[in-house]
Amino acid sequence: MKHWIFGAITLSCLAFGGAAIACPAGNGEGAIRPVVQNVSLQASELTGRASQLESAARSRDASARALEQEADTLSSRARILRNQAGLVNVADRASILAIADELSLRASSSRSQAAEERAQASDLRIEARSLRQRAIALVRGTSTGGGGWRTRTTSTPLPVERGVTL
Residue-wise pLDDT for 70-80, tens only, equals: 999 999 999 99
Q: Under a CB-based contact definition with an 8 Å cutoff, are residues 94 and 102 in contact? A: no
Residue 58 CA to residue 64 CA, distance in Å, equals: 10
Q: What is the pTM of this model?
A: 0.58
The predicted structure's pLDDT at residue 164: 47
The parts of the chain modelled with pLDDT lower than 70 are 1-4, 6-8, 10-37, 142-166
Residue 145 lies in a domain: no
Indicate the DSSP class of residue 30: T
Overall number of domains in the chain: 1
The predicted structure's pLDDT at residue 14: 62
The predicted structure's pLDDT at residue 20: 55
The predicted structure's pLDDT at residue 143: 47
Residue 50's domain comprises 38-139
The predicted structure's pLDDT at residue 22: 56
The predicted structure's pLDDT at residue 162: 47
- Please, what's the b/e burial string for 119-157 (b: 16 or more CB within 10 A of its CB; e: otherwise)? ebbeebbebbeebbebbeebbebebeeeeeeeeeeeeee
The predicted structure's pLDDT at residue 9: 72
Residue 24 lies in a domain: no
